[in-house]
Amino acid sequence: MATPVKRAFRYRFYPTDAQAAELSRIFGCVRKVYNLALQARTEAWTLRQERITYNATSAMLTAWKKTEELAFLNDVSSVPLQQCLRHLQTAFTNFFAKRAKYPSFKSKKKSRASAEYTSSAFRFRDGRLMLAKMAEPLDIVWSRPLPEGATPSTVTVSRDAAGRWFVSMLCDDPSVEPLPATDSAVGIDAGLDSLLTLSTGEKITNPKHERKYRARLARAQRNLAKKEKGSNNRAKARLKVAKIHARICGARRDRLYKLTTRLVRDTQTIVIEDLAVRNMVKNHTLARAISDAAWFEFRSLLQYKAAWYGREVIAVDRWFPSSRLCSACGVITSKLPLNVRTWTCDCGTTHDRDVNAANNILAEGLSVSVCGAGVRPQRRTPGGQSATKQKASRREP
């Protein structure tokens, strides 16, 4: 029997004034303990070349609670404080494995305000969630039901920059099972005019959420810039800017979730490009449009959903000339500026740039797949020789 998939279910909730004050205090304590532990680990390594483990920082937390300066840590649940030390340990593990940068200190203004509770620090019964050291259950808006009979293993409470409160419950979801296998495969070319172009010829429009709210966002940001730092009016103006950003982010995420779910359900093998988005946004002319397209988030969603439902995602090398390669005869054209959306090959085939790229991505991906389906397109130069033969002829005397 397959192990059930761990899945997080996030809901909005509306705390009372007392609950909001208590949770804000917990967020501050979590941030304080995290920063103290990070400082201790950094100093130990810098001064003594000593690595401090989670167990050592946990013992430090016990000692900190006994000091007069940090005695307030005893007033909140100890579980979120222990969990933040575990998160710090994970951050260092990823750093030493070269999967992430060195951990950074948490900021009151910029860092995500959150606290994680394990099963010993909350009670969940009949749709009512009670957190440790709180007198009343949270007023949760159940926008969708939890899996039948599911019991959360961890609960994470958070507040975003727009002042909205969320609770995320991690549960086993037995309803997530591999879908029946099919022979379908699709290549996907990511773009800006069309968000995605499929090898079937379908083009999925780019909603350009940021552009839709650009004027409203600029007006709110100008209003924020005029307010005196530290004033209540500046806090209100900042909240308006954050709400616009939250609306843009929510619309973009909703679109991507629905799109990736559809692709995974309908297709067995999905071939995409291995785009270096971090490098691409260094182009200041296209950075805003690329960020709004959220190609990296699209790939992340696609990969974990494919793993859930038994689908395969193949990433083609980013240097593969998908747009310049003729999918009919294999000739690679020398130049193809971005403003050229259709082009005609020497063989007489007229290509839509994006559809041609999607077809080439599909063929390239299938050629390296373990299933052996498809044939790698034979690349040829405009002179008619294959690229391999032309290289060989250059080496002959």
Rounded Cα gap, residues 137 and 115, in angstroms: 16
- Specify the pLDDT at position 303: 94
What integer best gives the mean pLDDT of the chain? 89
Residue 197 has pLDDT above 80, yes or no: yes
Reduced to 3 states (helix: H, G, I; strand: E, B; else coil), residue 164 is: coil
Task: Tell me the pLDDT band of 389, cut-offs 50, 70 and 90.
Answer: very low
pLDDT tens column, 199-241: 999 999 999 999 999 999 999 999 999 999 999 999 999 999 9
The mean pLDDT of 21-32, rounded to a whole number, is 96
Look at the chain and count its residues: 397
- Specify the pLDDT at position 92: 95
User: Strand pairing partners for 242?
Assistant: none
Residue 51 has pLDDT above 60, yes or no: yes
pLDDT tens column, 243-295: 999 999 999 999 999 999 999 999 999 999 998 898 999 988 889 999 999 99
Residue 393 has pLDDT above 80, yes or no: no
Listed range (165-174, 218-227, 350-359) with the worst mean pLDDT: 350-359
- Specify the pLDDT at position 377: 47
User: Strand pairing partners for 109?
Assistant: none
DSSP state letter for 368: T
- Specify the pLDDT at position 23: 96
Q: Alpha helix (H) ranges present in the chain?
A: 17-48, 54-65, 78-96, 209-212, 214-225, 232-266, 277-280, 287-293, 295-309, 353-367, 387-395
CB contact at 8 A, 156 and 19: no
- Specify the pLDDT at position 218: 97
Residue 372 has pLDDT above 70, yes or no: no
- Specify the pLDDT at position 1: 52
- Specify the pLDDT at position 374: 40
Residue 2 has pLDDT above 70, yes or no: no
- Specify the pLDDT at position 344: 80
- Specify the pLDDT at position 146: 92
CB contact at 8 A, 161 and 27: no
The mean pLDDT of 49-75, rounded to a whole number, is 94
Q: Of the candidates 111, 129, 133, which has an alpha carbon nearest to the alpha carbon of residue 21?
A: 133
| Region of 111 on the Ramachandran plot (φ > 0 left; ψ -120 to 50 alpha; else beta) | beta
The mean pLDDT of 35-41, rounded to a whole number, is 97
Q: Burial code of 112-151, b = ≥16 C-beta within 10 A, e = fewer?
A: ebbbbbbeebbebeeeebebbebeebbebeeeeebeeebe
- Specify the pLDDT at position 380: 54
Listed range (236-250, 302-316, 338-352, 379-393) with the worst mean pLDDT: 379-393
Residues designated as active site: 189, 273, 354
Percentage of residues in the chain with pLDDT exceeding 70? Answer: 92
Query: What are the structure tokens assigned to 50, written together?
Result: 């000593």
The mean pLDDT of 47-62, rounded to a whole number, is 93
pLDDT tens column, 114-164: 999 999 999 999 889 999 999 999 999 999 999 888 899 999 999 999 999
pLDDT tens column, 76-103: 999 999 999 999 999 999 999 999 999 9
